[in-house]
Amino acid sequence: MIVTPTAIADVLVIEPNVFGDDRGFFFESFNHAKFEAAIGKPVEFVQDNHSKSAENVLRGMHYQIQQPQGKLVRVVQGVVFDVAVDIRKTSPTFGHWVGEILSAENKKQLWVPEGFAHGFVVLSKTAEFLYKTTDYYAPEFERCIAWNDPEIDIKWPINGAALLSAKDQQGKFFAEAEYF
């Protein structure tokens, strides 16, 4: 696999070695030992999640103030623009964001460690999104930063209006949010 740091060094793009021919393809989507070697620390995933969304659905920017979740994310059908925002107060990249196109075709994965808000927007007709988490979902600790916060200024490559859940419509501006 090829591991590439993003503009925020702790967020990594992971590209698996894909073996394909006219019959199809094969790749190792996760190998615990190789993943820990790539990120340089032990990690234990405790939950896998799978979502399907329609075009222009924007989910995020989510995080948990307790039981923070590291996420290893990928797309198995369709295309998304995936975003991580550094919300670690002591980080030199606090308030910065990185984004990456993830698709079933490019098979890229994004490692979003604890201490980041995370979200994505669907760029294809539909997309199926899978992710592993390092802690369990705890709704009482979940928070949401507004996807369109002018201070963070994420450049979403969206064509049309973002489709948001009621929860995501209530996202707080970055200046009002709780951080790590």
Give me the number of domains the chain comprises: 1
- Is the pTM above the cut of 0.75? yes
pLDDT for 166 beyond 90: yes
Report how far apart, in Å, the C-alpha atoms of 65 and of each of 101, 121, 125, 165 are: 27, 23, 33, 20
| Rounded average pLDDT over 152-170 | 96
What digits encode the pLDDT tens for the residues 106-148? 999 999 999 999 999 999 999 999 999 999 999 999 999 999 9
pLDDT for 172 beyond 90: yes
Q: Is residue 82 part of a domain?
A: yes
Which pLDDT band holds residue 10 (cuts at 50, 70, 90)?
Answer: very high
Catalytic site residue 50?
A: no
The pLDDT score that the predictor gives to residue 159 is: 87
What digits encode the pLDDT tens for the residues 24-37? 999 999 999 999 99
pLDDT for 89 beyond 90: yes
Catalytic-labelled residue, pool 62, 63, 118, 179: 62
Q: Is residue 34 part of a domain?
A: no
Q: Is residue 72 part of a domain?
A: yes
Catalytic-labelled residue, pool 63, 118, 131, 179: 131
Q: Is residue 30 part of a domain?
A: no
Q: Is residue 8 part of a domain?
A: yes
**Kind of pairing, strands 18-21 and 116-122?**
unpaired
Residue 161's CATH number: 2.60.120.10
Catalytic site residue 118?
A: no
Which tokens is 102 given?
């993830």
Note whether 5 and 11 are within 8 A (CB): yes
